[in-house]
Amino acid sequence: MYDVIIIGGACAGLSAGIYTGRRELKTIILSKDVGGQLAITTEVENFPGTLSIKGPELAMKFKEHAEKSGAEIKFAEVTEIQKKGSGYLVKTKDDEFESEVVILAFGLKQRQIGVPGEKELTGKGVAYCATCDGPLFRGKRVAVVGGGNSAFDAVEYLAGLAEKVYMFARRDVYRAEDVLIESVKAKENVEIMDFTEVEEFVGSNKLEKVKLVNNQTQEKSELELDGVFIEIGWESQVGRIKGLSDLVEVSERGFVVVDNEGKTKADGIFAAGDVTDTPFKQAVISAGDGAKAAMSAAVYIARKKGKEIGDVFSDRAKKR
Amino acid sequence: MELNDNNFEAEVLKYEEGPVLVDFHAPWCGPCQMQGPIIDELAGELKDKPVKIGKLNVDESNQTAQKYGVMSIPTLIIFVKGEPKETLSGLQNKDVLKEKLEALMK
Ligand SMILES: Cc1cc2nc3c(=O)[nH]c(=O)nc-3n(C[C@H](O)[C@H](O)[C@H](O)COP(=O)(O)OP(=O)(O)OC[C@H]3O[C@@H](n4cnc5c(N)ncnc54)[C@H](O)[C@@H]3O)c2cc1C
């Protein structure tokens, strides 16, 4: 039995863990990884106090800080949440955990196209992070799906590694900075295919080819490729945790609705960071939200135990 | 231990005493930097057991990485008597890996 279960171990969750840990609240952070989006960010140049730092390095500092503050971290994917007694039951594939409060900090996930073969071939040629897996495709033929800044970034990066880089864009206008578009267009090994959508990924053990369709002419074609990077943005994953949307209020766009104390509609469930309906998605904002949700959680637990709340509005926990 | 294209056959494929866990990683990969210390800890805990644990840099040893179809990292492969028995991709817990290796030691 824990006081606090935090779902997600990135900016928001680890920051919340620092606060609840220092409060001597028994805390476990359940997360698929450390750092979330930060773990795949090459350089962060706007996190106060760090000037410029690599995403994974910043994430590791968060992790160390949370652990030193007393939070336990376990790698697992949360699949379900239920009300149980006065608290909650949180399930992962192999385990169950119980706590008085839950802090939701599980951020966003990369948007998938949703076509046949995509899921089966993920990690076998279909990828979602050019800077992570790109170097494994050195000298190969690859493509990037998308038409925004992150897609152009990926093309630019891959062009320096791969033999040939195609870009499949849905339209002939792009949502990216002009300089970046021009720089990508000037590369000899890049070919931008407008009005092009992927219909299927084909391959038995690894990606062999993609089936494409031109969304103007409906003309179909196939292309042999070793890798395809999908860069079409990020989306909510609230729906992936069973039972959650019955407990908390979810906005039209799929985000968890919170008040200015990080409280959700459900008693004892708090949320922080990109998973919430905050309009700004940034590392420092998620970290701040995490602190806020943790302090709200501490107040909630103190009140529940009938304690004087006195000092709970500031973080003046005893040094460990 | 450090594995590479040159010692892979002798150290991994020819190892008969038990399972071999290979961490395919690269210096540029964020999650790998988190997996690394977990692997080191695990190797420490299992150092007296009939098991081998090693790391392979996919950048330097890309023949081996390609041979086993490593297309995302970190990827962990457990070999038994020269054959890949189980492939895990993404960050893995120490406990999970320990359990899997212990089961394969019997
Ligand atoms: C390429 C890129 C560059 C960026 N650059 C910057 C920048 O320069 N500056 C800046 O301030 N921000 C930047 N951002 C945004 C910033 O990274 C995010 O706002 C921040 O990481 C959000 O933190 P979070 O904790 O709310 O969620 P996330 O980072 O999305 O992390 C969510 C965590 O929850 C875990 N998780 C998800 N589902 C589950 C589940 N079911 N069970 C258990 N765990 C789960 C994940 O593994 C992850 O650890 C960038 C983002 C990207 C993608």
The pLDDT, as a whole number, for residue A311 is 56
The tens-digit pLDDT sequence of chain B (106 residues) is 999 999 999 999 999 999 999 999 998 888 888 899 899 999 999 999 999 999 999 989 989 999 999 999 999 999 999 999 999 988 888 888 999 999 998 7
* Residue identifier of the C-alpha nearest atom 4 of ligand 1: A41
Q: Which tokens belong to A261?
A: 């104390």
**Distance from the alpha carbon of residue A37 to the mean position of ligand 1, in angstroms:** 3
Determine contact: A135 vs chain B, CB below 8 A.
yes
The letter for the amino acid at B29 is C
For the segment A219-247, the average pLDDT, to the nearest whole number, is 96
Is residue A36 less than 8 Å (CB to CB) from chain B? no
- Give the position of tokens 């494929």: B13
Q: Is B90 exposed, middle or buried (0-12, 13-18, 19+ CB in 10 A)?
A: middle
The rounded distance, in Å, linking the Cα atoms of B103 and B106 is: 6
Residue A205 at interface with chain B, using a CB cutoff of 8 Å = yes
Six token digits for residue A76: 């697992």
Q: Where residue A42 falls among pLDDT bands split at 50, 70, 90?
A: confident
> Is B22 within the bounds of a domain?
yes
Report whether residue A235 contacts ligand 1, using a CB cutoff of 6 Å.
no
- Residue boundaries of the structural domains of chain A: 2-108+236-319, 126-230
A30 lines ligand 1 (CB under 6 A): yes
Q: Tell me if A8 CB under 6 Å of ligand 1.
A: yes
Confidence of residue A312 (pLDDT cuts 50, 70, 90): low
* Interface probe with A: pick from B24, B29, B68, B96, most Cβ of A within 10 Å: B29
Mean pLDDT of A267-274: 98
Residue nearest atom 23 in ligand 1 by C-alpha distance: A11
Number of structural domains, chain B? 1
Boundaries of domain holding B38: 2-100
Give a yes or no: residue B105 inside a domain.
Answer: no
CB of A194 less than 8 A from some CB of B:
no
- CB A132 to CB B30 under 8 A? yes
Residue B86 lies in a domain: yes
* DSSP assignments along chain A, one per residue: -EEEEEE--SHHHHHHHHHHHHTT--EEEEESSSSGGGGG-SEE--STT-SSEEHHHHHHHHHHHHHHTT-EEEE--EEEEEEETTEEEEEESS-EEEEEEEEE---EEEPP---TTTTTTBTTTEES-HHHHGGGGTTSEEEEE--BHHHHHHHHHHHTTSSEEEEE-SSSS-BS-HHHHHHHHT-TTEEEETTEEEEEEE-SSS--EEEEEETTT--EEEEE-SEEEE-S-EEE-GGGSBTHHHHS-B-TTSPBP--TTSB-SSTTEEE-GGGBS-S---HHHHHHHHHHHHHHHHHHHHHHTT---GGGGS--PPP-
* Fold entry, domain A126-230: FAD/NAD(P)-binding domain (3.50.50)
Which candidate from A33, A63, A123 shows the least CB-CB separation from B31? A33
CA of A9 to the centre of ligand 1 (A): 9
CATH number for B41:
3.40.30.10
So what's the pLDDT on residue A320? 44
Catalytic position from the list B29, B43, B80, B88: B29
Q: Which fold has domain A2-108+236-319?
A: FAD/NAD(P)-binding domain (3.50.50)
pTM, whole model, 2 decimals? Answer: 0.86
User: What pairing do the DSSP bridges indicate for beta strands A227-230 and A126-127?
Assistant: parallel
In a domain, B42, yes or no: yes
